[in-house]
């Protein structure tokens, strides 16, 4: 046993019958919870409803801090493996890989938690309740926190969100490995500067079709917690919404876990939303609506609320029972020897195995947007210029909500480690990340003319996009005001093209970057997101052909900011691949590889399964290239033409398949009747008769992907009868 784990074993109070049945792991969880609740005073109960719950020493109940982050690795708690930012994990379109990453994060979380407890530390970021994943829909590329999400599509978000939850929580029949949390519920995706007072008013159709499905999928998959958003939704604060928390989450979906507020959100009730007069009223309103845990300190005023008759002790007990149930599921009141993972050694943290997984995930996240045949690169180029403000910038590995790895492999370092010794590599910063370019001579351009190949690293880092108060260089309070490259970078690239013999553009960032001119002038374009601690090595794997790129865009990349609807408008019309009418620069789901692929005809049949008639769609995928590739095969349903307010297409399933060089594989999708329903104006699913089109291919339907080099999709008509 690792010393930290051994110390943890003696740091947890032993089972004592004198402390009551709640300490007895042989009793049912409900019995243990009821026993502990019955032993607490009202003041003690209230003290346990805030994120920094203090110890109750007379009962041997240790302090517990609920606030912890694991967006793409254990965050804000020192050493950890930094996996690719979530938007990069989304670009892998790989359920199994995302679950493996989440399981590795949970291993590190367990090791860090038990080491902290052994040292007598129970503070913020040291617990086992993680406020991850963020399953908000990335409806607008200007939103700074979109990087934390799985992209713009509800189905992709739900599928990968479930994989994250399963990896974090594990599959033990009695204990949770860690507790995951679906956030921010609901209708929350910017603007950051308005989030504390904004009232999002989506239509019933958009709410049911876009903003809620991923949350429902995670709830039905067993996510332990749900975090309410800062904003109001249809007039009610999200953290006290009778519609969201009562009617939908608890009654319709049957959620039995706990609800936590976003941090400081309960104070927003009286400070910004104007729905209550003071902290006591806000706290009572939230608890009575179903928000069990306050990230903040407003719930301390429940003492006043109870005294004034605004809330009953029974209502406080309801919230407390949900919270205690989570702590019991984590084994926090049980002997360590009885809890799986309590002996997880500290050696798993940033271990070689986890770093190898981070490199694999980063390589799979890279999206090849253009390639005129230059890639993959030879290792024996005579000379290479590496330039741009993100080439040696370690911040571009991290994104936001990150831990810190003791070894961060920059993008420049990755290239340096991959080329032959005889290749001369020159590095110049080239231009600033943002702001004005200095006047006078820039040696970069002359250097480009002298070298055989130029690789330019441009884009964003987490100072330009992120959360309110965190993205310190963002003029939009964390959001971007324009989705184009900063002017200084764009001007630099245009001049660089005049001098570079061959030019590869590598884009960093957590959101869509509109680069229409760059696409035209560069020989190759790649998007690497925020790729994590092994980002440089992963990029080199792809650039030099050890790995064929298989990433696909989880977002649409528009041509220009002017193509977007107003940021403040939560209507989906004009947004994402499902409703945008303007041709994008790069479509949702798009990404090239190093092999030529071809789809065969799409055969459609019907079968009976689980008491319902399912549509089975089968096609073949042939690899005509010389290297094996992984391809994300995507299945979309297009509703009958002319159907009012229907999406242009809807992703209903996907598979990531291995296609060996020269081989042909068969891919099959079995679609339930729900795939052929539409959401009506009232927000209800409707089965509209008519001819639906099934499209199976390498990107969302449309001519743009094929024009960019994607193989032509396989299509077939499906006749749907009315009910």
CATH of the domain at 7: 3.20.20.300
Number of independent structural domains in the chain: 3
DSSP string of 214-261? HHHHHHHTT-SEEEEPSSEETTEEGGG-IIIIIIIIIIIT---SEEEP
Q: Taking residues 410-422, report their average pLDDT.
A: 97
Q: Taking residues 168-197, report their average pLDDT.
A: 97
Q: Residue 352: what pLDDT?
A: 98
In the predicted structure, residue 385 carries a pLDDT above the cut 90: yes
Task: Tell whether 334 is covered by a domain.
Answer: yes
Q: Residue 8: what pLDDT?
A: 35
DSSP string of 551-602? ---SS-B-S-GGGSPPTT----TT-HHHH--SPPSB-TT--B-SS-EEE-PP
Task: Tell whether 23 is covered by a domain.
Answer: yes
Q: Residue 644: what pLDDT?
A: 87
Residues 334 and 410 in one domain: no
Distance, CA of 525 to CA of 520 (rounded, Å) = 10
Residues 323 and 420 in one domain: no
Residues 247 and 282 in one domain: yes
Q: Residue 722: what pLDDT?
A: 72
Give the DSSP letter of residue 521. Answer: H
Q: Using an 8 Å Cβ cutoff, are 623 and 662 in contact?
A: yes
Confidence band for 12, pLDDT divided at 50, 70 and 90: very low
Asked which of 516, 551, 586 is the last residue of a domain, the reply is 551
Q: Using an 8 Å Cβ cutoff, are 186 and 233 in contact?
A: yes
Q: Residue 371: what pLDDT?
A: 98
Length of the chain measured in residues:
723
Helices marked H in 51-137: 86-92, 95-118
In the predicted structure, residue 6 carries a pLDDT above the cut 70: no
- Are β-strands 650-659 and 629-638 bridged in parallel, bridged antiparallel, or unpaired? antiparallel
Q: Residue 723: what pLDDT?
A: 59
170 class by beta-carbon count within 10 Å (0-12 exposed, 13-18 middle, 19+ buried): middle
Distance, CA of 708 to CA of 9 (rounded, Å) = 58
Residues 294 and 362 in one domain: no
Q: Using an 8 Å Cβ cutoff, are 657 and 674 in contact?
A: no
Q: Which residues are CB-neighbours of 420 under 8 A, at least 6 positions away?
A: 379, 380
Q: Residue 642: what pLDDT?
A: 86
CATH code for position 499: 3.40.50.1700
Residues 627 and 701 in one domain: yes
SS3 267: helix
Residue 143, CB half-sphere, CA atoms under 13 Å: how many? 27
Residues 207 and 335 in one domain: yes
Closest by CA to 234, choosing from 224, 225, 247, is 247
pLDDT (tens digit per residue) in 646-694: 999 999 999 999 999 999 999 999 999 999 999 999 999 999 999 999 9
Confidence band for 572, pLDDT divided at 50, 70 and 90: very high
Q: Which residues pair with 387 in a beta bridge?
A: 428, 456
In the predicted structure, residue 49 carries a pLDDT above the cut 60: yes
Residues 221 and 251 in one domain: yes
Residues 24 and 147 in one domain: yes
In the predicted structure, residue 542 carries a pLDDT above the cut 60: yes
Task: Tell whether 417 is covered by a domain.
Answer: yes
Element (DSSP H or E) covering residue 369: strand 367-371
Structure tokens at 479: 């959001």
In the predicted structure, residue 7 carries a pLDDT above the cut 90: no
Task: Tell whether 353 is covered by a domain.
Answer: no
Task: Tell whether 34 is covered by a domain.
Answer: yes
Q: Taking residues 446-475, report their average pLDDT.
A: 97
In the predicted structure, residue 515 carries a pLDDT above the cut 50: yes
Q: Using an 8 Å Cβ cutoff, are 385 and 416 in contact?
A: no
Q: Which residues are CB-neighbours of 354 under 8 A, at least 6 positions away?
A: 81, 104, 107, 108, 348
Q: Which residues pair with 671 in a beta bridge?
A: 615
Catalytic residues: 262, 465
- Are β-strands 678-679 and 685-686 bridged in parallel, bridged antiparallel, or unpaired? antiparallel
Q: Which residues are CB-neighbours of 580 under 8 A, at least 6 positions away?
A: 556, 558, 563, 574, 648
pLDDT (tens digit per residue) in 75-110: 999 999 999 999 999 999 999 999 999 999 999 999
What's phi and psi for 335, nearest 5 deg?
-60, 135
Q: Using an 8 Å Cβ cutoff, are 643 and 678 in contact?
A: yes
In the predicted structure, residue 512 carries a pLDDT above the cut 70: yes
Q: Taking residues 323-350, report their average pLDDT.
A: 97
In the predicted structure, residue 1 carries a pLDDT above the cut 90: no
Q: How many CB atoms lie within 10 A of CB 235?
A: 12
Confidence band for 349, pLDDT divided at 50, 70 and 90: very high
- In the chain the first and final C-alpha atoms are separated, in Å, by 62
Residues 339 and 367 in one domain: no
Task: Tell whether 90 is covered by a domain.
Answer: no
Q: Residue 18: what pLDDT?
A: 62
CATH code for position 610: 2.60.40.10
In the predicted structure, residue 702 carries a pLDDT above the cut 50: yes
Q: Residue 438: what pLDDT?
A: 85
702 class by beta-carbon count within 10 Å (0-12 exposed, 13-18 middle, 19+ buried): buried
Asked which of 551, 569, 586 is the last residue of a domain, the reply is 551
Task: Tell whether 573 is covered by a domain.
Answer: no
Share of the chain above pLDDT 90, in %: 95
Q: Taking residues 492-517, report their average pLDDT.
A: 98
Q: Residue 2: what pLDDT?
A: 37
pLDDT (tens digit per residue) in 269-291: 999 999 999 999 999 999 999 99
293 class by beta-carbon count within 10 Å (0-12 exposed, 13-18 middle, 19+ buried): buried
Distance, CA of 452 to CA of 84 (rounded, Å) = 31
Closest by CA to 111, choosing from 85, 74, 136, is 74
Range of the domain at 641: 597-720
Residues 383 and 337 in one domain: no
Task: Tell whether 716 is covered by a domain.
Answer: yes
**Mean pLDDT over the full length of the chain:** 96
Q: Taking residues 149-177, report their average pLDDT.
A: 98
Asked which of 316, 348, 380 is the last residue of a domain, the reply is 348
Distance, CA of 156 to CA of 652 (rounded, Å) = 9
Residues 462 and 321 in one domain: no
SS3 148: helix
Q: Taking residues 448-464, report their average pLDDT.
A: 98
Residues 113 and 217 in one domain: yes
Tell if the pTM clears 0.75, that is, is over it. yes
pLDDT (tens digit per residue) in 606-649: 998 878 899 999 999 999 999 999 999 999 999 998 898 999 99
């Amino acid at each position: 046993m690792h010393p930290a784990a051994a110390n943890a074993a003696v740091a947890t109070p032993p089972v004592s019958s004198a402390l009551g049945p709640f300490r007895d792991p042989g009793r049912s969880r409900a019995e243990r919870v009821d026993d502990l609740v019955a032993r607490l005073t009202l003041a003690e109960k209230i003290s346990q409803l805030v994120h920094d719950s203090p110890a109750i020493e007379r009962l041997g109940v240790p302090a517990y801090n609920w606030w912890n982050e694991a967006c793409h690795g254990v965050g804000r708690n020192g050493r950890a493996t930094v996996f690719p930012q979530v938007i990069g994990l989304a670009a892998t379109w790989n359920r199994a890989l995302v679950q493996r990453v989440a399981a590795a994060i949970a291993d590190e979380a367990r090791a860090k938690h038990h080491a902290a407890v052994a040292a007598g530390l129970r503070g913020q970021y040291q617990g086992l309740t993680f406020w991850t994943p963020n399953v908000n829909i990335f409806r607008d590329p200007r939103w700074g926190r979109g990087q934390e999400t799985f992209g713009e599509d509800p189905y992709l978000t739900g599928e990968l969100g479930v994989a994250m939850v399963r990896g974090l929580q594990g599959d033990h029949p009695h204990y949770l490995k860690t507790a995951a949390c679906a956030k921010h519920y609901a209708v929350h995706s910017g603007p950051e500067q308005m989030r504390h007072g904004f009232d999002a008013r989506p239509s019933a159709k958009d709410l049911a079709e876009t903003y809620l499905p991923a949350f429902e999928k995670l709830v039905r998959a067993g996510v332990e917690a749900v975090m309410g958003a800062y904003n109001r939704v249809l007039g009610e604060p999200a953290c006290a919404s009778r519609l969201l928390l009562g009617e939908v989450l608890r009654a319709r979906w049957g959620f039995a876990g706990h609800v936590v507020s976003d941090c400081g959100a309960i104070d927003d009730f009286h400070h910004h939303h104007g729905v209550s007069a003071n902290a006591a009223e806000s706290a009572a309103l939230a608890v009575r609506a179903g928000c069990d845990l306050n990230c903040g300190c407003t719930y301390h005023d429940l003492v006043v609320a109870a005294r004034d008759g605004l809330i009953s002790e029974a209502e406080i007990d309801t919230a407390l029972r949900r919270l205690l149930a989570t702590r019991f599921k984590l084994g926090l009141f049980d002997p360590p020897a009885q809890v799986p993972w309590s002996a997880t050694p500290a050696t798993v943290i940033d271990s070689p195995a986890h770093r190898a997984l981070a490199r694999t995930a980063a390589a799979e996240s890279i999206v090849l947007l253009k390639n005129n045949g230059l890639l993959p690169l030879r290792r024996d180029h005579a000379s290479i210029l590496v330039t741009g403000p993100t080439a040696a910038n370690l911040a571009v590995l991290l994104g936001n909500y990150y831990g810190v790895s003791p070894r961060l492999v920059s993008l420049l370092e990755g290239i340096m480690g991959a080329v032959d010794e005889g290749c001369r590599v020159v590095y110049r910063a080239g231009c600033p990340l943002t702001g004005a370019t200095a006047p006078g001579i820039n040696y970069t351009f002359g250097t480009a003319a002298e070298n055989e190949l130029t690789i330019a690293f441009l884009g964003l880092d987490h100072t330009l996009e992120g959360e309110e108060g965190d993205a310190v260089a963002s003029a939009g309070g964390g959001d971007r005001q324009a989705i184009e490259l900063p002017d200084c970078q764009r001007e630099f690239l245009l001049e660089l093209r005049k001098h570079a013999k061959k030019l590869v553009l590598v884009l960093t960032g957590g959101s869509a970057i509109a680069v229409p001119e760059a696409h035209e002038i560069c020989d190759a374009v790649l998007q690497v997101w925020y790729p994590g601690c092994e980002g440089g090595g992963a990029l080199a794997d792809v650039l030099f052909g050890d790995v064929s790129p298989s990433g696909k865009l989880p977002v649409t990349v528009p041509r220009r900011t002017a193509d977007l609807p107003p940021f403040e408008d939560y209507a989906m019309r004009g947004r994402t691949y499902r409703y945008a009418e303007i041709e994008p620069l790069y479509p949702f789901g798009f990404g090239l590889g190093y092999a030529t692929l071809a789809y065969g005809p799409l055969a459609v049949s019907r079968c009976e399964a689980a008491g319902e008639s399912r549509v089975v769609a089968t096609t073949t995928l042939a690899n005509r290239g010389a290297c094996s590739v992984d391809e994300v095969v995507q299945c979309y349903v297009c509703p009958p033409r002319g159907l009012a307010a229907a999406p242009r297409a809807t992703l209903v399933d996907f598979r990531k398949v291995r296609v060996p060089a020269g081989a042909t594989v068969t891919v099959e999708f079995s679609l339930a009747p729900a795939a052929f329903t539409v959401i009506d104006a009232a927000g209800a699913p409707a089965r509209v008769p008519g001819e639906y089109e099934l499209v199976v291919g390498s990107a969302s339907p449309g001519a743009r992907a094929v024009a960019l080099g994607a193989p032509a999709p396989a299509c077939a008509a499906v006749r749907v009868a009315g009910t």
